[in-house]
C-alpha cells in the first residue's frame, strides 16, 4: 500500500514538473509525423530527423511526407538538444537503424527519461562474424525487441511501446483509431495515455510489453500474405481463413518468444492484424500484392519510400520457429516465396494441402 502511494505521488510530481517541457519524436517518416501531430494537440513537440536537407525542407514547407505539420511542432537535427529538452521521447525509426539511433542518443539520456517506441520490427544481436544467412537457427538471446534494445544501449528503465491498428494515412486524415500503450511501468502507460488520448483516438493499456511488441511485429508477416491473396484475386473467404490461421500462428510464435496469449487477442494483435490485412495502404500488404502480380522482391523494395518491416521479420521468425519447433506454416511458405523463388500460387497450394487438425487449442475450456 505504501509503495502504491509513493508511486502515485511520484507520478503526479513527474507529470506536473514536466508539463512545460516539449515531447520528443525521433523519426519523421509517415508514422513519426502523424504521431508528432497527435502529440502536438496536447504539447509542444520536437520532431527529429538526422537529414539536415530534409529538416530544412520540412521547416520551409511545414510538411513531412506530404502531411501538414501542426503549428506546435519544431523540427530539429540535434539529438543532444532533443534529450536535454524532453523528458518523454517517442522513437519511431525502422528496426534496421534502431540500435544505431539508440547508441547516438544514449550519451544524452538520463534515468529520468521515459521512452515509448512505435517501431514494429526486430533487432538481431548475432555472434561475432555471423550473419542471418549463416545462422541455421535463431533464439531469443539473438533476437531483440526494441524495448530490449533501449535497455541494452541506455540507462533508461522506464520503457514502453505503442502498437495497434495505426495506419498512418487514416490517422493523418483524423479518422477514428486506437492504440495500446504497453509497459511494466504504470507511469509510462499513464503518461502515454495523457499525451495521446483524444475524442477520436482511444488508448488502451497492457502490462505485457514483450507480448504487445511481438504482436505488432508478427502481424506484418500475415499482412504480406494477405496482400498476396489479394494480388491473386481471391476474396473474403480466403482472407478470413488467412487472418484466423494467422492469428493462431502469431499466438504460438509469440508465446515461444516470451509473450502472453492475451496480448495477441486485443487491439495490438487481432485489431492490428485485421487492419493491415485489409489495407492496400499497408506497406507489408503492398509487398505481398506486388509479389503475386509477378514483381521481384528487390524491385519492390527499391521502389518503396519506407521500410516494409515484414520482409526481414519473415527471415528472422522462420529461423526462430525452427529453433523453438513451432509449426508456422504461413511464415515458412512466405520465406520460400521471398527468399527461395517459390511462386505465390505454389505457396498457397502448399498451405491448402497441409492437414491441419484442431481449429483452436491454445485456449483451454
Domain edge (last residue) among 158, 175, 207: 207
pLDDT range class, residue 3, cuts 50, 70, 90? very low
In this structure, the answer to whether residues 202 and 84 fall within a common structural domain is: yes
Residue with cell 492437414: 355
In this structure, the answer to whether residues 193 and 218 fall within a common structural domain is: no
Range of the domain at 249: 213-353
Q: What is the pTM of this model?
A: 0.90
pLDDT at 252 over 90: yes
Q: Is residue 358 part of a domain?
A: no
CA proximity to 151, closest of 128, 189, 181, 117: 117
Domain edge (last residue) among 182, 207, 232: 207
Q: Do 97 and 34 touch, CB atoms closer than 8 A?
A: no
CATH number at residue 90: 3.40.50.720
Distance of alpha carbon 219 from alpha carbon 331, whole angstroms: 11
> Catalytic: 219?
yes
In this structure, the answer to whether residues 189 and 228 fall within a common structural domain is: no
Q: Is residue 78 part of a domain?
A: yes
Other beta carbons less than 10 A from residue 234's beta carbon: 16
Percentage above 70 pLDDT, the chain: 91
Residue 284 cell numbers, joined: 507489408
- Which residue in 43, 120, 144, 219 is the catalytic one? 219
Domain edge (last residue) among 160, 183, 207: 207
- Tens digits of per-residue pLDDT, 58-117? 999 999 999 999 999 999 999 999 999 999 999 999 999 999 999 999 999 999 999 999
Q: Could you tell me the CA-to-CA distances from 313 to 1, 2, 251, 335 in Å, in that order?
A: 43, 44, 16, 10
* Total count of domains within the chain: 2
In this structure, the answer to whether residues 169 and 241 fall within a common structural domain is: no
In this structure, the answer to whether residues 242 and 335 fall within a common structural domain is: yes
Q: Is residue 359 part of a domain?
A: no
Amino acid at each position: 500500500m505504501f509503495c502504491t502511494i509513493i508511486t502515485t505521488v511520484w507520478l503526479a510530481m513527474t507529470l506536473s514538473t514536466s508539463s512545460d517541457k516539449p515531447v520528443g519524436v525521433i523519426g519523421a517518416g509517415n508514422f513519426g509525423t502523424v504521431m508528432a501531430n497527435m502529440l502536438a494537440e496536447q504539447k509542444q513537440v520536437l520532431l527529429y530527423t538526422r537529414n539536415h536537407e530534409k529538416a530544412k525542407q520540412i521547416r520551409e514547407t511545414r510538411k513531412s511526407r506530404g502531411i501538414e505539420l501542426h503549428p506546435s511542432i519544431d523540427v530539429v537535427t540535434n539529438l543532444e538538444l532533443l534529450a536535454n529538452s524532453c523528458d518523454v521521447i517517442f522513437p519511431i525509426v525502422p528496426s534496421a537503424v534502431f540500435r544505431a539511433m539508440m547508441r547516438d542518443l544514449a550519451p544524452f539520456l538520463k534515468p529520468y527519461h521515459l521512452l515509448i517506441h512505435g517501431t514494429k520490427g526486430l533487432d538481431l544481436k548475432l555472434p561475432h562474424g555471423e550473419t542471418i544467412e549463416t545462422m541455421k537457427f535463431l533464439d531469443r538471446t539473438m533476437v531483440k525487441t526494441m524495448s530490449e534494445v533501449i535497455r541494452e544501449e541506455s540507462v533508461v528503465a522506464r520503457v514502453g511501446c505503442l502498437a495497434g491498428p495505426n495506419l498512418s494515412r487514416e490517422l493523418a486524415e483524423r479518422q477514428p483509431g486506437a492504440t495500446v500503450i504497453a509497459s511494466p511501468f504504470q507511469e509510462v502507460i499513464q503518461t502515454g495515455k495523457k499525451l495521446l488520448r483524444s475524442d477520436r483516438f482511444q488508448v488502451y493499456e497492457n502490462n505485457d510489453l514483450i507480448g504487445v511488441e511481438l504482436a505488432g511485429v508478427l502481424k506484418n508477416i500475415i499482412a504480406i500474405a494477405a496482400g498476396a491473396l489479394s494480388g491473386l484475386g481471391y476474396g473474403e473467404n480466403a482472407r478470413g481463413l488467412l487472418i484466423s490461421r494467422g492469428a493462431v500462428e502469431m499466438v504460438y510464435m509469440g508465446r515461444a518468444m516470451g509473450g502472453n496469449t492475451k496480448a495477441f487477442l486485443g487491439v495490438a494483435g487481432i485489431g492490428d492484424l485485421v487492419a493491415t490485412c485489409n489495407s492496400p495502404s499497408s506497406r507489408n500488404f503492398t509487398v505481398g500484392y506486388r509479389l503475386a502480380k509477378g514483381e521481384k522482391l528487390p524491385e519492390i523494395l527499391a521502389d518503396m519510400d519506407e521500410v516494409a518491416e515484414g520482409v526481414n521479420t519473415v527471415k528472422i521468425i522462420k529461423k526462430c520457429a525452427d529453433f523453438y519447433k513451432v509449426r508456422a506454416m504461413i511464415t515458412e511458405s512466405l520465406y520460400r516465396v521471398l527468399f527461395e523463388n517459390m511462386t505465390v500460387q505454389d505457396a498457397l497450394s502448399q498451405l491448402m494441402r497441409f492437414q491441419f487438425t484442431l481449429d483452436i487449442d491454445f485456449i483451454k475450456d
